[in-house]
Structure 1
């Protein structure tokens, strides 16, 4: 179902390698029926962790009454809204994340069998897990551990959160994936044919490669190629190449003395201004920030005798 564009939430820029946000909501007003989540939709998944009080959330027109400890799963593209359900304080955490968080760079038959059905919409996530349900406890623990990691932002918190979500979806597959998906061999028709293409892209990262050229390499027309590529990687073809290039550029910024212009040329972005703009889009900060952070560390290293 497609909803009006004016109801689509404009998600703030995030690191495309770790596309998630955690929003802690404590509405100041505590009156029953107060709007606590405005009507909107977005292309990302969302998990609502009800922590204090109770509320009613409507997800694609279906009402769900959530009490403290309950979890609600909002599918990508679902219209949703929330209201306070009592004259009392309430609090919830909204976890918004893109499916690309859980995609893998290389085709993985186990991932395709157990995780991909949730990401591409073939299998719905459970609408609600109740606080009193013992089976909900591991999910709630992973969500709350991830919330704490995001709020504290200690070293490598991004990796911890990504690990937690991979585990969360693995547990979802054990409990909610229908047997027909478990018993069915992982789809390998496209994933196997895409492996040489992925390897080619990684080993020729600076060389131009059009959609049409890539599609011919896997014997698909451009339309079906684009659909299949995004399903396998979680990214469009152009986004995937840019993502690889920026990750390589980030490594070069940290490990070499090459100038920004030299690095831009090495990864196939000849225009330094365009490279800076692209880097900031994917990393949320300019490449000059990386070099500034390196300088104090470099000055503190004693010269070799």
Structure 2
């Protein structure tokens, strides 16, 4: 019997510059995508033929045209008959996250990342939004063939359009009570995130952040994690590593200098945190950026 961790796909989808990749199958032979899972979300377009799909140990028979959404962590497989056509877009949901917190981040993007809401399993031919989804999807496929930043920006905007369409059509599956109105909480979290943005190069204490909201440190820690979906320390490290990534790609400054300017006075700790978030070391990151230019 295979354990879930043994089924995790080892393929990297996209690259550092843009974590999105497109795939295509168009052949007169049967094909099999074996049971696997990945952290990325996946949108599959069944263009022609019949497909047998297994998602989280439930089986479905799908007749094209249809779209299938694979949420992050879903165990899935696909078997097609002969003369079938399908394409897929695989992307990391984190690419949609906003550095500056707002209502969209609070109500839609973060709940998607945290699986409090999920994409619908299927959009079938009987669904009235299938044509609109197809139009957006084809734009994603077209622009993803290019490696220009403008193309990346367009692809990202099309994914937001897709999410907006699903949201307006009430197609998302809700797994938690995501409130529509909570401006007070959003204002509080924006105050803290703004503070972090302006002070990431300095020492940031829990006490200082708690004082901004008039809370004791223990309550603040629970409050921040509930609203932001991560601890304040995790968020600070993410901001610092993103700033370090910019400096690594845009300047020739020494790695030690970059670490110090991003709030790390210990180079070993900086490298450890960078690798945890980017999955490679700072020097490897810089080398990959140079090769991609």
Question: TM-score w.r.t. structure 2 length?
Answer: 0.74
1:165 match: secondary structure: helix
Segments of structure 1 that go 5 or more residues without pairing to the other structure are 295-305
Partner of 2:189: 194
1:83-122 equivalences under 5 Å are 83-84=79-80, 86=81, 88-113=82-107, 117-122=111-116
Which of the numbers 235, 240, 260 marks the counterpart of 2:235?
240
How has the CA–CA distance of structure 1 residues 79 and 260 changed in structure 2, closer, same or farther, with 3 Å as cutoff?
A: closer
Whether the 8 Å contact between 1:53 and 1:67 is mirrored in structure 2 is: yes
Alignment partner of 1:12 is 2:12: yes
Whether the 8 Å contact between 2:249 and 2:286 is mirrored in structure 1 is: no
Q: Deviations over 1:247-297 (max 9, x none)?
A: 333444566564333222211234557656727963975325657899xxx
How has the CA–CA distance of structure 1 residues 293 and 273 changed in structure 2, closer, same or farther, with 3 Å as cutoff?
A: farther
Q: How many residues align?
A: 280
Partner of 1:22: 22
Segments of structure 2 that go 5 or more residues without pairing to the other structure are none
Paired with 2:66 and 2:289, the residues of 1 have a C-alpha distance of 41
Q: Deviations over 1:38-73 (max 9, x none)?
A: 112334322111234331112223333334431011
Partner of 1:37: 33
Shift in Å, 1:77: 2.6
Segment drifting more, 66-75 vs 112-121: 112-121
Alignment partner of 1:127 is 2:121: yes
Q: Deviations over 1:107-138 (max 9, x none)?
A: 32255345555454444432211246452122
Partner of 1:74: 70
Partner of 2:228: 229
> CA RMSD for the aligned pairs?
3.9
Question: TM-score w.r.t. structure 1 length?
Answer: 0.72
Q: Deviations over 1:157-184 (max 9, x none)?
A: 3222211111110111110158x99x96
Paired with 1:74 and 1:13, the residues of 2 have a C-alpha distance of 14
Whether the 8 Å contact between 1:14 and 1:283 is mirrored in structure 2 is: no
2:79 match: secondary structure: strand
Shift in Å, 1:91: 3.4
